[in-house]
Structure 1
Amino acid sequence: MNDSAVHDRPGSTPRPPAQALFRRLFAINGLVFAAGTIVLAVSPATVSAPVMLAEVPVLAVGLALMLAANALLLRRSLAPLDALTTLMQRVDLLRTGDRLADSGNSDLTHLICTFNAMLDRLEAERSASSAYALAAQEGERQRIARELHDEIGQSLTVVLLGLKRVVDRAPADLEDELHGVQETVRASLDEVRQVARRLRPGVLEDLGLHAALSAVCSDFSQMSGIKVTRSVEPDHPALGAEVELVLYRIAQESLTNIARHAHATRAELSLATEDGRLTLRITDNGQGGVLKDGAGIRGMRERALLIGARLTVESPKGGGTCVRLVIPRRADRSSFT
C-alpha cells in the first residue's frame, strides 16, 4: 500500500479514522433517505392525514427497503473492521507476515495501514530483543561450559589419578570397592563433558555444521535409545556462523522434545535444498497431537526469526511430529550477534 492511498488528495494530511468513518456513515444514511424521499415524491403513492389503513403496507414496504439498503451499505462499509478484529485475535509475533490487505475502503485505509505498521514495529522490536537475549544466553552457555570443562572436569581428572594411586597401594579386600568408586568418578567426568559439549558446540566451530549435526544425532541416540536416520546434504550453500548455530540449536531442541514427549521409536533428520531453499526437517513416529506451542517450540520460533527463517510444526494426533525450518536465500544477513 502506498502512502497516497491514505490521503484525501496529494499534499493533504490524512483524516482521523473516526471523522472519516462518521462522514461515510452520514453520507450513506443521507443517500438512503434522499433516495427514499425521491421515490415517494415521484411515485403515485400518497399518504393521508390521518394515515389510512390501506396505506400502512406501502409505508412498511418503503421503510423495509430503506432499512435493507442502509444495512447492506453499512455492512459493506464496515467489513474491514471485522477483518481487522479477526487479525487482532489471531496475530502472533512469532509468526510473521500476517497482515490485512487494503480493501479499497478509503475511509479505513489509514487505520489498516497504521495497524500493519504497528505490527511491523512490534515484530522488529521482538526480533531485536530476542537477538539480545539469545546472544546473552549463548554467552552464558559458553561460560558455564568452560567452567565445567576447565574446573570441574580438571578436578575430577585429578580425583581419578589420585584414586589410581590409592588402588595400586590398597589391600586386596578394598580393590573392588575402590574400582567401583573409580567407575563412578569416570562416569561423572564423562557426563560433565557431555553437558559441556551440549552447552558449547565446539564441534560446530571446529568441524562445521555437517559434523555437528552428526554428533548431536549420535549423542541423542546414545542417551535416548531412539534410532536417528540422518541425511545431510554435503554441498549446501555457504552459511554464516549465526545461521549454522540456529540450525544446530533447533535440531538439538527438536531431538530433545522427541526424547521427552513423543514416545517415539525412531526419528529422522535431514538438511537438503527444497525449491531452491535450504530446509532442515526433523520428524518422528511418535504420538503427535501437539496442540499449542510449549517453551521449547516458542524458543525455536524466536531463533528462526533471528535469521528470517520460517518454522512450521505439523503434529497430527497419532501421526508423529514434523519440525520444518526453511532458510531464506540471504539468511546469513541475520541480526543475530
Structure 2
Amino acid sequence: MFLSEYPDTRSQTTDARITISCKMSALALALVLLCSAAIMVAPAAADVESHSFPVFNATTTESLWVATNMSIVMPAALLFMPEQPLPEVNVSEGFLLLPKRIDVWRAGAGALPTREASFNTSFTVESSAPPVSFVLLLDRFPTLNNPLGLRGANDSWTGAAPNATDGLSAVEVGTVRSYAPESPNVGLNVTIAPNGTAAPGRRAVWVEYNAVEHILRVYVAAGGEPRPARALLDARLSLAGQGTTQTALVGFFAARVRDIFLAVRDWDLTVDRLDTNGKKKGTPWWVILIAVIGSVAATAAIVSLVVCSFVSRRRARDMEPKQ
C-alpha cells in the first residue's frame, strides 16, 4: 500500500477545527446581534412613559380615577358595579383620569431653558356619542363644590379658541377652566365633537404635541383608517406658559361621566420622560459602551466567518481528485 492511500489524519483534524471555529463564530455573531438588539430596545423603551387601554370597561378602568365637582371616586370601576352605589356621579360632569401624574415640563438648571415633554395620544370615539375632551390638568384636582362648576365661567376665556371641522368631527383646542376663579385658563383641553350627520361608525383621533416646535396637531379619521398625512388642526402651544404645573393629571372630560365610557372605546398615551435637569432622558453611557463593544465583536465575528468560509472552500478544492 502506498503512503498516499492512508487517510490524512492531520488534514481531517484541521478540517474539524476549522468547522468548529466557524460554528463558534456564527454562534458568537448571533449572540452579539441578539444582545445588541436587546440593549438598544431597552433604553428606547425607557425614554418614554406609556399607558394603553385597548378597551374601556370595568376591568381596564380599574385603576383610573373619576373627579366631579362634588366628589372624587377611585377606582372608576365602582361605577360599573350592578348595585350602582354612586348614581349621581355617572350623570355629573367630570373627569376620568390616570392615577399617576405625568411630567409635563422641567425648569432648566442655571441658564438652561425650560424643557417640555413631547407627547402623543390616540383614542377612538363613537360617532353617535356626545362630545368628549382630552384634558391636561394641573397637578391637583379642581376645588370641590366650585360654584362655577368644572366648565368655569363663560367669559373666563378671552380670544377665539383654535378650531376646525371636517365631515367627520369638529375639533377645538383651548384651556381648562375648572380651576376658576384662581386659575381660570390653564392646561390643555382638546374637544372632539363627532359629526352626527356623517356616516355612522367610529372616529379615530390623534393628538400630538411637539415640544421642540411648540405645535399641537390634531388628526381625525374614520375608525380603522390610518392617521392622515395632514392634520385637521395645528395650534401653537407652550405648556410651560399655560400656567400648567410641572406635573399634570391627564385624562378625559365630558358633560356626564358616563358619556366618557359611552364615547371612548380605546386610549393610548405616550409621553417623553424628563430627567431631573429638565432634559429628555438619553442613552446611558454604559449602553453606548456596550453597543460599541458589541459592534467591534460583531465585526470580528463576521471577519472570522469570512475567513472560515474562504479556508473551507480552499481545502474543499484541494481535496478534489486531480486529473
Q: Same fold (TM over 0.5)?
A: no
User: Taking structure 1 as the reference length, what is the TM-score of the superposition?
Assistant: 0.26
How does the TM-score come out when normalised to structure 2? 0.27
Structure 1 or 2: more strand by fraction: 2
Question: Which structure would you say has the larger Rg?
Answer: 1
